[in-house]
Chain A
Amino acid sequence: AQSVTQPDIHITVSEGASLELRCNYSYGATPYLFWYVQSPGQGLQLLLKYFSGDTLVQGIKGFEAEFKRSQSSFNLRKPSVHWSDAAEYFCALFDSWGKLQFGAGTQVVVTP
């Protein structure tokens, strides 16, 4: 089965603190993985993607993600969050049928 799981539905973090969002995948081969962000009332925007090579991927807005094959994970991180990072974050897998499979999303709330 090909799937993506985001274990955390909701995360609250203080402004300036670090953030890590978890993503686990199930896929038979080397996956193509993505992180998208959705701000309130907006469409999704691509933060970063992993295809192959360096397992630490840098994205926009200061985000990075690390691919760990042994753990079937692709966690998203940011060292210091800003209030504007409050949004919903989606991990996605490009499956063998040519479609993106999205996780359920993690809602991030940033407190002052």
Chain B
Amino acid sequence: DAGVIQSPRHEVTEMGQEVTLRCKPISGHDYLFWYRQTMMRGLELLIYFNNNVPIDDSGMPEDRFSAKMPNASFSTLKIQPSEPRDSAVYFCASSFESLAGESGEQYFGPGTRLTVT
């Protein structure tokens, strides 16, 4: 398997523009996570899905952020409108549920570095 695939790897946009980040999880994984990493706040979980259904979106900063998972092999994270404070590295990760009933063994994509000017 190619691992978790994210696109684009880098995105530079102007404030107010819509940004869409894409993720393809590892085939067979039933959990998908979106994280944001900044120097100030570290690694933050934004939202996660189980079997394509959003389970916890309490980490989504505000209504400007939305995420979808239309099928098991694709997810998007959209920011509309974008603001300079959204500049960060956004990671997608996927996982499976272990026999212990947890999904902590997560496989991370390479990330999308977003810069909003």
Contact = CB atoms under 8 A, between A and B. Distances in A.
A104 B109 CA distance: 20
Interface string B29-63: 00000000000001101001000000110000000
B91 A102 contact: no
Contacts of A98: 48, 55-56, 102-103
Contacts of A92: 104
Contact of B4 (A32, A41, A43, A99): A43
Nearest to A42: B110
Contact of B108 (A32, A41, A44, A105): A44
B91 A99 contact: no
A51 B104 CA distance: 10
Range of interface residues on A (Cβ < 8 Å):
20 to 34
Interface in A8-24: none
Contacts of B108: 43-45
Given A99-B45, A100-B45, A104-B42, A46 B55 contact: no
Interface of B: 4, 42-43, 45, 48, 55-56, 91, 93, 100, 102-111
